[in-house]
Structures are given as structure tokens and as C-alpha cells.
Amino acid sequence: MADECIVVDSGSTDETVAICQQFGLTVHHHAYKAHGAQMNYAIGLASHDWVLCMDSDEILDNDVVAAIQALKAGEEPEPTCAWRLPRYWFVLGKQVRTIYPISSPDYPVRLFNRQQARFNDRPVDDQVVGHASSVRLPGFVRHDTFYSLHEVFNKLNSYTPGW
């Protein structure tokens, strides 16, 4: 599906780097400032204008993959158009409808032309800006946002410094 795969790591302590290397992927190290900054760093490393940005905890189903392959096989899209992924949130392995302040599914722009669009620099709830229009892709993207209660509380605590 992809002509290249770019992995950006900010110093993970699990087996992320080793797993990527097993699949022949180069891991680019970049200090974490914010999610959008990490994504924009990865976008800057891309060799092609059209980019699909995903987090390591997101999995595309066959319908999303087929839709992207059809786009890729067709005529060159208008560069100001972007595509939204149907992202379904999972917490502790179970699908949820709401994880405040997000309703599931949500439809973030994740496929776009990097000459036209980038992630904004919001520290929380960043998004892709610069595209003129967007279209929802069919399918299901599984987003395993939290695997443990420890992760849930760490995330909540990161939003409340100094309390």
C-alpha cells in the first residue's frame, strides 16, 4: 500500500525499535515536544507528496486499505483534498463510544498532500490544517488508546500540571 514507511521514535523503552528493525524499517529518533510536531517531523522525511499519518496504536482494516489502494491507482487527486479515517476508540481492549472529550468514531484527516497541509501546533487535540476539502474513507481504524489504567491516569495527569 505504501511506497515508504517512516517511523519516528522519541525514546520508547519497549521493543518498538527492535520490531521495526526486524521488518527492515529505519527508525528516526526525534525528541518529543507534541504529537503534531512529531507528525510534521515525519512528514518532512517523506519522499512523496501524498502522506498517510498514523499512530503506532492504530490499525487499518481491509476496507480502508482497499480505499487507499483505489485512490493510489486512480488519477492524481486534487492536492488541496484530504481524506478522513474512520477511527474507533478502544480502551483496555474494549470499544468505547465516548472517551471525554472524544466521541467514537471520530474522523481525523490523516491522508493528505504534504505540500498543502500539515499538523497544527496545538499541544492537545492537534489536527491537520491547510486542506480545502476532505472526504471520509470507508472502513474501520482501530485505535487502542489505552492498554492499562496506569496509562489512563498518566494521560489525565499530563493534562493537569501543577494541580
What is the residue extent of each domain of the chain?
7-158
Structure confidence at residue 163 (pLDDT): 56
In whole angstroms, what is the distance from residue 138 CA to residue 4 CA? 23
Residues 6+ apart with CB under 8 A from 103: 97
- Under DSSP, the state recorded for 143 is E
Range from 26-35, 53-62, 114-123, 145-154 carrying the lowest mean pLDDT: 145-154
Domain topology for 7-158: Spore Coat Polysaccharide Biosynthesis Protein SpsA; Chain A (3.90.550)
The pLDDT-based confidence of 42 (bands split at 50, 70, 90) is: very high
Residue 156, pLDDT above cutoff 80 = no
pLDDT above 70 coverage of the chain, percent:
98
Residue 110, Cβ density class (10 Å: 0-12 exposed, 13-18 middle, ≥19 buried):
buried
pLDDT, position 99: 79
How high is the mean pLDDT of the chain? Answer: 93
- pTM for the complete prediction? 0.90
Backbone phi and psi for residue 113, each to the nearest 5 degrees, phi listed first: -90, 120
